[in-house]
Amino acid sequence: MKKEQLIYEGKAKKIWSTLSPDLYISEFKDDLTAFNGEKKSNEKGKGALNNKISTALFRYLQKKGVPSHFVDMLDENHMLHKRADVILIEVIVRNIATGSLSRNLGIEDGKVLPFALVEFDYKDDELGDPKLNDQHCLILELVKDQSELDYLRYMARRINTLLQEFYAVRDLTLVDFKLEFGRDSDDNIILIDELSPDNFRLWDSNSGEKMDKDRFREGLGGLKVAYEEVLNRILMEK
């Protein structure tokens, strides 16, 4: 399958059409952005690492019965996946308080939450991705009805449980992450986009070392080394 037309260029990926109307190709870029695009950089090889990490995690989740857009990894930087109509809700799952949750609600950084917190953000860069409650989602017609919101929450929690288990045996703690969902050509809601340390916070379970994009946000350096370590641990047979 070959790239045909550039459909969209985002901060982390280029999305290409193919000769099959139901299939797109994601090209993973080496660009890094944070704080809604205010901080920018480029790390050679980052795109390939995110593609490989996403591929491994999509494969794992598919084996566990989670429907997603993933079809195949084509080469270092390219993933073949289903085309979807993006649901403009960023579904965020948090197991440990940090980042904006700690800042906004004054919850101590690093506090283990009593249950997984699922949050919805409006996927709209111009508005700065504001928080949404269920009524906002319905008023904005981001989904058809309440049952779809319940389904997004259910899937997010299920994915969280599966990924927590997967990471725990690899000495990685899943702190929080962002998911995107879309509708495929049969109108099924499926998991889309990427599953990478650009969108996940992961801490080494022993040292507490940050293994994700916070290294870039906080100027800690060593981002690629950390992503390589995440990939190596993900590929370990357990």
Ligand X SMILES: Nc1ncnc2c1ncn2[C@@H]1O[C@H](COP(=O)(O)OP(=O)(O)OP(=O)(O)O)[C@@H](O)[C@H]1O
Binding mask 190-219 for ligand X (x = CB under 6 A): --xx--------------------------
Sign of CA dihedral 44, 12, 148, 129: positive
Binding status of residue 32 toward Mg ion by CB under 5 A: no
For residue 88, give Cα distances in angstroms to 128, 130, 141, 158: 13, 12, 10, 20
E strands present in the chain: 6-9, 13-17, 23-28, 31-34, 39-42, 70-75, 78-82, 85-86, 89-96, 112-122, 131-132, 172-183, 189-192, 200-204
* 210: its two tokens: 């940050």
Stretch of residues binding Mg ion (CB under 5 A), selected from 7-15, 71-79, 126-134, 230-238:
7-15
Binding status of residue 231 toward ligand X by CB under 6 A: no
Which of ligand X, Mg ion, none does 83 bind, CB closer than 5 to 8 A by kind? ligand X
Identify which of residues 23 and 162 has a Cβ nearer to ligand X in the complex: 23
Find the binding residues for ligand X in span 80-109 (CB under 6 A): 81-84, 86
Binding mask 61-80 for ligand X (x = CB under 6 A): --------x-----------
How would you list the strands of the sheet with 6-9, edge to edge? 6-9, 13-17, 23-28, 78-82, 70-75
Q: How far is the CB of 20 from ligand X (least distance, A)?
A: 13
Q: How far is the CB of 140 from ligand X (least distance, A)?
A: 16
Q: How far is the CB of 178 from Mg ion (least distance, A)?
A: 8
Identify which of residues 14 and 215 has a Cβ nearer to ligand X in the complex: 14
Binding mask 140-169 for ligand X (x = CB under 6 A): ------------------------------
Applying CB under 5 A, the site for Mg ion has a residue count of: 1
Phi and psi at residue 117, in whole multiples of 5°? -95, 125
Identify which of residues 16 and 97 has a Cβ nearer to Mg ion in the complex: 16
Binding status of residue 130 toward ligand X by CB under 6 A: no
What is the end-to-end Cα distance of the chain in Å, rounded?
Answer: 32
Beta bridge partners of 96: 112
Q: How far is the CB of 236 from Mg ion (least distance, A)?
A: 27
Tell how many helices (H) and how many strands (E) occur in the chain: 6, 14
Whether the Cβ atoms of residue 12 and residue 29 lie closer than 8 Å to each other: yes
Burial class from Cβ neighbours inside 10 Å (0-12, 13-18, 19+) for residue 19 reads exposed
Q: Which of 6, 12, 118, 192 binds Mg ion (CB under 5 A)?
A: 12
Q: How far is the CB of 185 from Mg ion (least distance, A)?
A: 22
Cα separation, 157 vs 169, in Å, equals 19
Contact positions vs Mg ion (CB under 5 A): 12
